[in-house]
Structure 1
Amino acid sequence: MKYYLLNNKQTVFFYAFFRQIDLSLDRSRWTSFNDLQYYYSDKISPEHVIKYSDNIPFEEKSITRINKFKFFFKKGLREEEFEYFKNLLLLFDKFLKSNEINYIIQMEKLRIDIAVFYNNVLGSKMSRKDLKRTMKIEHYYQNPLIQTIELKEFVPNDFEDKLIV
């Protein structure tokens, strides 16, 4: 079984990125989808996150040879979870590059799938402090009175290095 090893900074970044997508897709129901596409034109794109995630190391482990208790509480993703993670990013990237004008039902399904994934899979691997911090992530069409944290504060130190490779 392949197991993708994530450090805490990567887990928090992926959680924050998915939360930003979730909130942005939710808000885009009330505006033109073109506005959301424009919003992401100068942000970190899903394509960059996919490229970054392709360079995350993995290890082969036999489930019978490891301590099962430690295995399920590691800060990494199983191969199926990692592939699902990348598929969600690919779908969102496809929507961003599409010619859609209005919010469609497939976007809502994607938003729900993303929310379930980041809350159940990534959220379970994070501390309460990090979860509380990521709740304040900036997003599209946000209330200007609310104090938010920009996504770049969650970006891992090696993000740009792994994009170049």
Structure 2
Amino acid sequence: MFPEDIQTSAASVIQAALEAGVMVSTAESCTGGLVSGALTEVAGSSAVLDRGFVTYSNEAKTDLLGVADDLLARFGAVSEPVARAMALGAVARSRAAASVSVTGVAGPGGGSADKPVGLVHFAAVGPSGKVVHVERRFGDIGRDAVRLESVRVALGLLMEAVTA
């Protein structure tokens, strides 16, 4: 279902989490569950993937992940503070010790001068509690391409969180 490089990355994350004894979770907006989907393509992933949160709306981010309304109002859903809050919320509201979050503008519409199509914010947190943020500007490369590139980045960050 996923390209080979994504399948390989997902399998590596699952193996690393198994070896580290770390449960993981995901908090996804623009990817709509694709990161969790990639992880569940791996046989045995249920041993380490606790749950995935698909929080496409602001209300879902607040209700399911505890993202503060004031963060959403001040910075917007596609922002570093919200990505960080999503990652922390996924750990706080699951049995996971590591998580990754994704929030962005996949396109083709919905972009602005400040937040163009292809802008995606990621955050990951590991067992140490340290949160790492990454911003990518993929450009207007098409909705599918933005989402797949986002899955690649998210899996890389989750790997770092699990092994840190």
TM-score by length of 2: 0.26
**Structure showing greater relative contact order (alpha-carbon pairs closer than 8 Å, 6 or more residues apart):** 1
Between structures 1 and 2, the one with greater helix share: 1
Largest Rg, 1 or 2: 1
TM-score by length of 1: 0.26
Between structures 1 and 2, the one with greater strand share: 2
